[in-house]
Amino acid sequence: MEQVLMFASVMTPLVTGLTEVAKRTFLIPKRFINIISLMIGLVVGLLAFPLTDLDWTLRTWAGTMAGLAATGLYEVGKYRVGTKHR
């Protein structure tokens, strides 16, 4: 399980960046960003087979965690010092 968490931690910034690229490239409603991030995480996890010896199921779990964490990372990054919170 430690390997899955480490792999998800490494993938999270990549998934965050790819989600941001998707948001700026395509007109995606805000309510679908979480789902898009999750799907990008799944795809990145599945396509990362040359980078790790994890089984496809564990890569899928890591991708899922990375996708969900990427959305949270973006939300935290939006609230910088000096901005108003909700």
The pLDDT value given to residue 36: 92
Domain spans in the chain, listed from the N-terminal domain onward:
2-72
The pLDDT value given to residue 31: 85
Asked if residues 46 and 63 have their Cβ atoms less than 8 Å apart, the reply is yes
Task: With residue 64 as reference, give the H or E element that holds it.
Answer: helix 56-78
The phi, psi pair for 85, rounded to 5°, reads -95, 165
Each residue's pLDDT expressed in tens, for the chain with a length of 86 residues: 888 889 999 999 999 999 999 999 999 888 888 899 999 999 999 998 888 888 999 999 999 999 988 887 666 666 665 566 55
The HSE-up count of residue 52 (CA atoms within 13 Å, CB side) is: 22
Distance CA(74)–CA(53), nearest Å, equals 29
